[in-house]
A and B are shown apart, each in its own frame.
Chain A
């Protein structure tokens, strides 16, 4: 059989291609947001100390979930299925906590009268964070399916590793969303 040009499995390469295309999608949203944000005077700055603490917790939770995902991939590769499953459950739990905190933040904004229909801030904020939240929820569901099938022996450690790539990407996107969408809109 001919050797893979990048010496990685096809599924992993396919995931990389998906990640690149998704990165460009997020890039388009964030560039659009960046230009609108800088060009608009009197921009809404709704985030007070409570929201800032929430964002700090959300960020730490998501970065920690990347660490547990690394543990899952490595344990699976080393053949320690029980440990890989524990790491996968930890990652899923952290992802679910992140989603709950995110939704709580949204409802807090709704309480202040900020919705997707309430001007440029609402439109850009809910579009970008909504797209990211969709990725997190999809990631948790993907991890659940992969972990169940991996536990049942239907999937291999390579599948766990490939799903991990997606999860790290979701974490990576958050590193751009937080500074641009939250930290530039803190109420002074």
Chain B
């Protein structure tokens, strides 16, 4: 296979991922006009963004082609840190409605 055809193939190979990412974005756009409740909208948009990011990580950043150890070293730890951060922030919001020091 020539060098030119190899680089041409990569575009064609990742074109479905490209269109799926644009499709997810258009779905997000559609939902943002349809859903009035902000909390519901944020949760749905966040889930769709996670789907887009997963596709980007696996196919654009080639994580699916790397050794499994790299994935296991990086991704679970990152998700754990982000989830812990989520706990931390929600705790600080909850604190606004509490009465610290028994006051």
Contacts and interface: CB of A to CB of B under 8 A. Distances in A.
Interface of A: 5-8, 13, 16, 20, 23-24, 27-28, 31-32, 34-35, 37-39, 43, 52, 56, 59-60, 63-64, 66-67, 69-71, 73-75, 77-80, 83-84, 87, 165, 168-169, 171-172, 175-176, 178-180, 183-184, 186, 188
Contacts of B60: 66, 69-70, 168, 171-172
Contact of B78 (A7, A20, A87): A20
A56 B11 CA distance: 22
Q: How large is the interface on B (under 10, 10 to 19, 20 to 34, 35 or more residues)?
A: 35 or more
Interface of A is mostly: helix
B4 interface: yes
B11 A60 contact: no
B7 A78 contact: yes
B33 to A, nearest CB: 7
B42 A184 contact: yes
A67 B7 contact: no
A169 B73 CA distance: 18
A40 to B, nearest CB: 9
A2 to B, nearest CB: 15
Q: In the complex, which of the residues B15, B86, B89 has the most CB atoms of chain A within 10 Å of its own CB atom?
A: B89
Contact of A180 (B46, B61, B70, B93): B46
A79 B3 contact: yes
Interface string B23-56: 0010011011100101101100110110011001
Interface in B67-103: 67, 69-70, 73-74, 77-78, 81-82, 85-86, 89-90, 92-93
Contacts of A32: 89
